[in-house]
Amino acid sequence: MPPTPRRSTILEVARLAGASKTSVSRYFGAERERLSPSLQTRIAHAAGTLGYQPNQMARGLKGGRSKLLGMLVADIRNPFSVAITHGVEQACRQYGFSLIVCNTDNDPEQERQHLDLLGAYQVEGLVVNASGNPERQLHNFISLGTPIVLLDREVDHVEAEVVGLDNHQAIDMALEHLADQGYQAVLYVSEAPEQSSTRQKRLLRFSQTAEQHGLNYTTSLLTDMNGAATLQALSDFLTTHQRHACAVLCGNGNATLIVTRLFQQLGLPLGTVGLMGIDELDWCALVPPGITTLAQPTEAIGKTAVQCLMHRIEPHAALMPKELSFAPTLIERGSTQR
Amino acid sequence: MPPTPRRSTILEVARLAGASKTSVSRYFGAERERLSPSLQTRIAHAAGTLGYQPNQMARGLKGGRSKLLGMLVADIRNPFSVAITHGVEQACRQYGFSLIVCNTDNDPEQERQHLDLLGAYQVEGLVVNASGNPERQLHNFISLGTPIVLLDREVDHVEAEVVGLDNHQAIDMALEHLADQGYQAVLYVSEAPEQSSTRQKRLLRFSQTAEQHGLNYTTSLLTDMNGAATLQALSDFLTTHQRHACAVLCGNGNATLIVTRLFQQLGLPLGTVGLMGIDELDWCALVPPGITTLAQPTEAIGKTAVQCLMHRIEPHAALMPKELSFAPTLIERGSTQR
DNA sequence: CTGTTAGCGCGTTCAG
DNA sequence: CTGAACGCGCTAACAG
């Protein structure tokens, strides 16, 4: 076998099958039916022996159809993001598209670079879980006719479907549950809200409605990975509300992780001091007596995002999903049992 | 703005800059220096106003260089895989390549399809964390001159670098630690080893060397997600070795998760009955008194895999890594403290 | 230093 | 139902 036996081309298949390029092209395209049975078998055979595979690059060049979708993920190491990515990927496959996943590590610069790349590869649609505010580049895609869907986070001045959790409902459900369980004071812990519309919405909703649930409340922002500032906020909170039944509500999975560590550092008994988090994680059931969470329907969110895109790419293949905003599911565990 | 204002082409830039296609091509290629400063600015300006971006598809078509790497991941929802993927991605970026990540969900059929796809997109290299035994297709890539590197799992009859943990060392370290801590009997819990050379190696090594560490031992394979069979095995094990200090060693992160649940179901006191796992997870520190683990250097593994590939794609850009087999790090916690 | 020419592999006319 | 010819956007020779 030669060192680099070039990938075989459509022409070689055609020759070996005693047919023309066009016929082979049709065979691999959407018009296989229109070829005579005899030709079909000849081509199939030839392609088989040569191990031929149409070159997507060349294909895309001609029709402008890359059959590629791009996805921007702010933090791939977040299990929640992974779960959604998984849904997105499944859906892509289903529609016959491939997916280029780009992780930005919450860095706007990487985000810019990745968007350029995705453009260069002619993706036909974009699922964006933004890190910064790449409105400039997103508009670029839009004006080129490339559909975009926003995942979990909005981007200023970019009009596109936003698929994700119903944040108001989530906060409301959490507050209701905590109130029901008899907690009287709640501390809301969130990661820095600047870069994420979702964090902002949850935080705001919390501040606006905690009172209506008859709860005293405070908020604290996580500044570093250790939550040093929040440790302080937490002790202060507990001191201030000594006479109340206290609980902490975590704005997302990462907050839950950090706060759980804090609880252990302070030796707080889970439940007596309530703990609840948005995002369900593998281990929430494992930390005794179990951490109560609000689970997001991640697969559905991912699938829906792709469906939005497909609806605009191939309107006949997918209809516009009716719901873009999803309700969480309450998973009750011991950490909110007094 | 027109509905689909085609992405501008090299020709348009050339015209607007009053230059030729070639010069523009050179400007965006590796020969920018060789253009006169005046031409450079003209092109830069023209490209800027047109928002021009070279089309990678067309580029790849010509030179056969797609600047794309492919990665096959057996299970993207496994945090360990994610961590490695993250390393791979970072390294790609560093070498100016993009990455198409394909998750196979441990399904050989999906694996086949994804390999075809990656071929169709002309990836220049492949990082493979295999689900099945796609030797046929991998050989195809190899004979086409596309370098391959195997991640964590070997594939029968495919000769390629295998990057991953030093499994023997890992098992030895675990056994040594358990013996040191005074445990006398160890149960090894592994996921089904059929599809994974790594699981086989660990299992085998365990069976072969547990005795040398003066330990009684048994093994159990996880059959379903609940570990029903292992629950039985675990009670049997504890009954049999009532008079011994018992411990369980988990072959990977998922096993640790399941076994931890089992411990809770049985009300086993962590530490009194030892528990240790290969793979470090977010929550291992959180389940009191903390679960002892052997952490893999995931970022390093990912980076090394890419480096192998790059060494064969652009020998001048990367040298062959010296070490392909990595040592784990012992993270000692309460679960192995009697 | 710069422009001209010829394809890369394929899909798509448009005749037969 | 089939085949010949053209061009997608770009880079690699090869002039000048």
User: Chain A residue with minimal CA distance to B55?
Assistant: A120
Name the token pair of A67: 């059959």
Taking phi over 0 as left and psi of -120 to 50 as alpha, with beta for the rest, B169 belongs to alpha
Average pLDDT of each block of 10 consecutive residues along chain B (338 residues)? 68 91 89 89 92 89 87 96 97 93 95 93 95 94 93 96 98 98 98 95 98 97 93 97 97 97 96 98 96 98 97 90 96 97
A1–B140 CB contact, under 8 Å: no
Please give the span between the terminal C-alpha atoms of chain A, in angstroms, as a whole number: 72
pLDDT at A4: 55
In this prediction, residue B1 carries a pLDDT of 40
Q: Is residue B140 part of a domain?
A: yes
* B221 domain-assigned: yes
Q: Indicate whether A274 belongs to any domain.
A: yes
Does residue B5 lie within any of the structural domains? no
User: What is the structure's pLDDT at B5?
Assistant: 65
pLDDT value at residue A5:
63
Is B22 among the domain residues? yes
Q: Which pLDDT belongs to residue B2?
A: 43
| Same-domain status, B38 and B71 | no
Residues B275-292: tens digit of each pLDDT: 999 999 999 999 999 999
User: A237 or A55: whose pLDDT is higher?
Assistant: A237
Q: Which of B283, B287, B313, B333 to mutate to test the interface with A (most CBs of A within 10 A)?
A: B283
**In the predicted structure, residue A20 carries a pLDDT above the cut 90:** no
**Of B5, B57, B79, which has the smallest distance from its Cβ to A121's Cβ?**
B57
Residue A256 and residue A281: Cα distance in Å, rounded?
9
Using a CB-CB distance cutoff of 8 angstroms, which residues of chain A are in contact with residue B6?
144
A174 and A274 belong to one structural domain: yes
Question: Are residues B173 and B283 both part of a single domain?
Answer: yes
State mean pLDDT over A7-36. 87
User: Does A77 sit within 8 Å of B83, measured CB to CB?
Assistant: yes
CATH classification at residue A154: 3.40.50.2300
What pLDDT digit, counting tens, does each position of A136-190 carry?
999 999 998 899 999 999 999 999 999 999 999 999 999 999 999 999 999 999 9
**Chain A: closest CA distance from residue B121 (Å):** 5
**Secondary structure (3-state) at A178:** helix
Chain B positions touching A286 (Cβ under 8 A) are 257, 260-261, 264, 283, 286-287
Burial of A156 (0-12, 13-18, 19+ CB in 10 A): exposed
How much is the average pLDDT of A26-32?
A: 85
Same-domain check for residues B108 and B212: no
Distance (Å) from the alpha carbon of A190 to chain B's nearest alpha carbon: 19
Please give the mean pLDDT across all residues of chain A.
94
Distance from CA of B218 to the nearest CA of A (A): 25
Per-residue pLDDT tens digits for A73-124: 999 999 999 999 999 999 999 999 999 999 999 999 999 999 999 999 999 9
Asked if the peptide bond before residue A289 counts as cis, ω within 30 degrees of 0, the response is yes
Do B267 and B217 lie in one domain? The reply is: yes
Residue nearest to nucleotide C3 (CA to C1'): B20
| Nearest chain A alpha carbon to B263 | A286
In a domain, B1, yes or no: no
- The answer to whether residues B188 and B41 belong to one domain is no
Contact A143 B54 (CB under 8 A): no
Whether A284 and A171 map to the same domain: the answer is yes
Nearest to A221 by CA among A239, A240, A200: A200
Q: Which nucleotide is nearest to B10 (CA to C1')?
A: D9
CA of B27 to C1' of C1 (A): 13
Other CB atoms within a 10 A radius of the CB of residue B54 amount to 18
Residues of A in contact with B285 (CB under 8 A): 261
Same domain, B185 and B250: yes
Q: Are residues A208 and A247 in the same domain?
A: yes
Number of domains in chain A: 3
What is the domain range of residue B228?
A: 167-296+329-336
Closest residue in chain A to residue B92, using alpha carbons only: A102
pLDDT for residue A186: 98
Other beta carbons less than 10 A from residue B142's beta carbon: 17
Question: How long a stretch of residues is chain A?
Answer: 338
pTM (predicted TM-score):
0.93
Q: Do A57 and B61 touch (CB under 8 A)?
A: yes
Q: What are phi and psi of B322, to 5 degrees?
A: -75, -40
Cβ distance of B120 and A56 shorter than 8 Å: yes
* CA distance readout (Å), A201 to B45, B245, B266, B267, B293: 41, 52, 42, 41, 38
Smallest CA–C1' separation from A21, nucleotide: D3
Closest in B6, B117, B145 to A98, CB measured:
B117
Q: Looking at the structure, do residues A274 and A172 belong to the same domain, yes or no? A: yes
Closest partner residue to A57 (CB to CB) among B57, B261, B281 is B57
Backbone angles phi, psi at A278, to 5 degrees: -90, 135
| Whether residue B96 is found in the same domain as residue B159 | yes
Chosen from A282, A291, A335 to mutate, greatest number of chain B CBs within 10 A: A282
Euclidean distance between CA atoms A327 and A165, whole angstroms: 6
Residue A260 amino acid letter = T
CA distance A258 to A275: 12
In this prediction, residue A53 has a pLDDT band, given cuts at 50, 70 and 90, of confident
Contact B101 A98 (CB under 8 A): no
Separation in Å: C3 C1' and B34 CA: 14
| Statement to judge: residues A158 and A180 lie in one domain | no
Per the omega criterion (within 30 degrees of 0), is the bond before B288 cis?
no
- Domain assignment present for B44: yes
Test mutation, A286, A293, A312, A335, chain B, max B CBs within 10 A: A286
Contacts of B57 in chain A (CB under 8 A): 57, 60-61, 66, 121-122
Residue B322 lies in a domain: yes
Chain B residues near residue A121 by CB distance under 8 angstroms: 56-57, 98
A29 touches strand C (CB under 7 A): yes
